[in-house]
Amino acid sequence: MKKYVVYFTIAELCLVSYFLFEPAAAYNWGWNTLPNTFEQASVETLDSGYFDAIKFSKSQVDIFSAMGIPALSVAVGVGDKIVWSEARGYADIDQEITANTQTSFRIGSVSKAVTSVALAKLIDAVALNIEDKVTKYLPDYKYNDVTIKHLASHTSGIRNYDVCLCIPIFEYYSNDAYASVDEGLEMFVQDPLLFEPGTDFSYSSYNFTLLSAVLEKAVDDSFYELMKNEVFAPLEMHQTTFDFNDSIFTHRAEFYEVRYGEYKKSFEVDNSNKWAGGGIISTPTDLVKMGLSLLNKDFISRETFEIITTPVALNNGEINEQNYTLGWRKSEFGFDVIPDKVTVIHHGGTAVGSTALLLLVPDYQLTVAISMNRSVEDFPLFDLAKPIIGAFINQIMG
């Protein structure tokens, strides 16, 4: 009898361990041969005025396809219009559903840049000030010295994803549904800060979860309604919304892991604990619409644009280590077509089964966005984006 008790206990422990570590445990089975997905292509916009830049960019997409990508979508905007958008591959491999320019992808941390636009709208409306403390809006929380600026620039000291007393044990792979932003806060708000606010930089999506709770209080509405009313609807971002697990999205891609010419569907997650920092789905076309609205002068004021795109200094006067602004990074990129470096405002994002990148080039009124439905450990989309930007700069310069 004791022998069976031991066997049962071992089996029970194995079962519990499986669910605790399910993302890792399930990774090694269920793989299938990845088809040549890039035979499929859907082109929505092709501006003949940028024929040479588009032709070159399409050739770069051809090269990039060698990575093994289920679907890739690219959009480019110049001035006030989208001049090229194209999707290749399968939104759903098993169902043989081809991707098109309406296919939505998880955009991961590019969600932070989208959230920053809502923040900018509230700054313009004088609904808040970035120097306001969190406790002005959430008096019950203990982060007495944390400001909106600290949250949006990752200088608050709030920790990032960790292990938890949950199933699975990894917060990043959470599949728990949270009914509200406030519920999602409970995952981290009782934990001590990593450092005194403003004294250091530590990237954490939870900063934006708390920021979204502040924004809700500032407008007395849900974060979803704020984003819909202030960003998605005004900019006609029709394929952009939250990655709700309980809703059916006609154009949402399936999300995959890819290795050695094989693919499998990604682990099922619920992003309701991080809508603002990593839980939005969108298309490159919609992201370019947003980027163009920021570069043009009619959506937010130039003063506010400078506020959200200026790297934040620490208390000691030094700029934070990632040149992080309020929801963006600001970098100087070199291109062969011009002698001087070019300012690029950008944000990348990795999510479970998806990767995205959004770049703004203010000096040339240029916006580029790229998404694909596979996870990557490194971040290769810059390798595709930079030659595309260079080609369009070259043609813009004439």
Whose tokens are 């202030």? That residue is 230
Of 187 and 21, more confident: 187
Q: How confident is the model at residue 22 (pLDDT cuts 50, 70, 90)?
A: very low
DSSP letter string over 258-316?
Answer: EETTEEEEPPP---TT-HHHH-EEE-HHHHHHHHHHHHSSSSS-HHHHHHHTSPPB-TT
Reduced to 3 states (helix: H, G, I; strand: E, B; else coil), residue 175 is coil
In whole angstroms, what is the distance from residue 264 CA to residue 152 CA? 35
Helix (H) or strand (E) holding 357: strand 354-361
Helix (H) or strand (E) holding 87: strand 81-92
The mean pLDDT value of the chain amounts to 89
Inform me whether the pLDDT recorded for 174 exceeds 90: no
Whose tokens are 């940028």? That residue is 50
Note whether 173 and 23 are within 8 A (CB): yes
Of 175 and 26, more confident: 175
Report in angstroms the alpha-carbon separations of 32 from 23, 267, 351, 353: 18, 15, 21, 16
**pLDDT (average), residues 93-101:** 94
Given this model, what pLDDT does residue 12 score? 43
Residues 6+ apart with CB under 8 A from 105: 71, 73, 252, 253, 281, 282, 283, 354, 356, 371, 372, 373
Pairing of strands 342-351, 329-333: antiparallel
Given this model, what pLDDT does residue 43 score? 83
Q: How confident is the model at residue 234 (pLDDT cuts 50, 70, 90)?
A: very high
First to last CA, the chain: 85
Given this model, what pLDDT does residue 44 score? 83
Name the token pair of 186: 């409970």
By residue count, the chain amounts to 398
- The pTM is what? 0.92
Given this model, what pLDDT does residue 170 score? 65
Given this model, what pLDDT does residue 166 score? 55
